[in-house]
Amino acid sequence: MAIFQHIILLLCLSLFCTTSLVSSHNRHYTTPTVPRLTDLFSHVSVNQSFSNVFGGPNIKILNNGSTATFALDRTSGSGLASWNKYNYGFFSAAIKLPAGLTFGVVVAFYLSNADMYPHSHDEIDIELLGNDKRIDWVLQTNVYANGVSTGREEKFYFWFNPTLQHHYYSILWNSHHIVFLVDNIPVREFPNNGKFSAAHPLKPMSLYVTIWDGSQWATHGGKYPVNYKYAPFVTSLTDVEMVGCIVNPKQPNSSCSSANVSSIDPVEGPDFVKLSNQQMSAMVWARRKLMFYSYCKDTSRFKVLPPECK
């Protein structure tokens, strides 16, 4: 009888552990109300605004260029880069992530100029990391400037299931701040003032959308590598917005093109200098409820924390 009770106890504990690892989007969240920045700008055509970077056969353009699918399989990942380079802008897309066992799969929506400045490049990253033992996708944001190799990662769980439908992922980048948004809710602000300024990207960048194998780092240093038994992993992209200062980096004195710029300046105008009270409250909500890692609290990684953390 004692052995039987012991087995029952172990089963209960196992069940508790399993349920404690279910995804955070199964919990109920009342999301804050925020302005919908994604309603302010027109969508661009994927096939007219991007070029193939790699994995061309794994990219399909659909719905007259308004939608694209990207796949990762045993042969390759895939990715696109914008034809234009920007000195600042608002960049957004609605993305639906692959479902199922997606350990090590990385879907990235980011700005970079590594092609132009391989030794001093800048990046502003939204990286969507495939699930590990929590059965959750993870949102990682990051900023690099002037080739500094120190990452400034912050990680969040979602308040929804990102594999069921498209959700908006957006980057606002101007001379005042960088803001990362999910479904128009700011989750992180990186201000261009004080000690943050040294880490603020200033050189023109392209917008990239990619899916690739991040087994070596995306899940605890390769603990959960991509399992190609479940390939192909397909992500869908639509409602792309790119608006801002278009420049020619080969002509240092070139001015911003007026092409695709809204009648209100999307990133340097007074409406985008700072977050509204509503947006600030929403960001506090997201960071309190869903952020589970910040580089500024990682004392095991940094003997001396980056200056903006102090």
Question: Please, which residues have CB within 8 angstroms of residue 164's CB and are 6 or more apart in sequence?
Answer: 96, 99
Residue 203 gets the label, from left (phi > 0), alpha (psi -120 to 50) or beta, of beta
| CA 284/CA 225 separation, integer angstroms | 33
| CA 81/CA 124 separation, integer angstroms | 14
Residue 121 gets the label, from left (phi > 0), alpha (psi -120 to 50) or beta, of beta
| CA 84/CA 204 separation, integer angstroms | 10
Asked if 127 is an active-site residue, the reply is yes
Asked if 123 is an active-site residue, the reply is yes
What is the DSSP annotation of 67-81? EEEEEE-SS--EEEE
> What is the number of helices (H) and of strands (E) in the chain?
3, 15
From 123, 154, 189, 241, active-site residue: 123
Alpha carbons within 13 A on the beta-carbon side of 187:
30
From 127, 154, 189, 241, active-site residue: 127
| Catalytic (active-site) positions | 123, 127
